[in-house]
Amino acid sequence: MGQEAFHQYYQDLYGDRWNALHAALISPIRGTVAVINPFNADQTWRSQVQGHVSCDWEGILLPTSSNQEPFPAPGNFSMEFYPYYLLDHASALAAQLLDLTPDTLYADFCAAPGGKSLVAMFKLQGPVNALLNEPSPDRCRRLKSNLSSYLPNNVVNKIKVTSYDGRRFGWHRPESFDTVLLDAPCSSERHVLLNQKELDHWKPKRSKQLSELQFSLLCSAFDAIKKNGMILYSTCALVPQENERQIERLIKKRPGRVEVISHPLLEKYFEKRSHGYLALPDRQQMGPLYCCLLRKIGDS
Q: What does R_g of the chain's alpha carbons equal in angstroms?
A: 19
288 within 8 A of 190, measured Cβ to Cβ: yes
178-214: burial string, b at 16+ Cβ within 10 Å, e else: bbbbbbbbbbbbbebbeeeeebeebeeebbeebbeeb
In whole angstroms, give the CA distance from residue 194 to residue 212.
25
Q: Is 110 a catalytic residue?
A: no
In whole angstroms, give the CA distance from residue 280 to residue 106.
28
- Coil, strand, or helix at residue 273? coil
**Among residues 123, 48, 115, which one has the least CA distance to residue 79?**
48
**Among residues 112, 148, 102, which one has the least CA distance to residue 132?**
112
- Coil, strand, or helix at residue 43? coil
> Which residue in 110, 140, 186, 236 is the catalytic one?
236
* Helices and strands (DSSP H and E) totals, the chain: 12, 13
Q: How many CB atoms lie within 10 A of CB 98?
A: 23
Residues annotated as part of the active site? 236
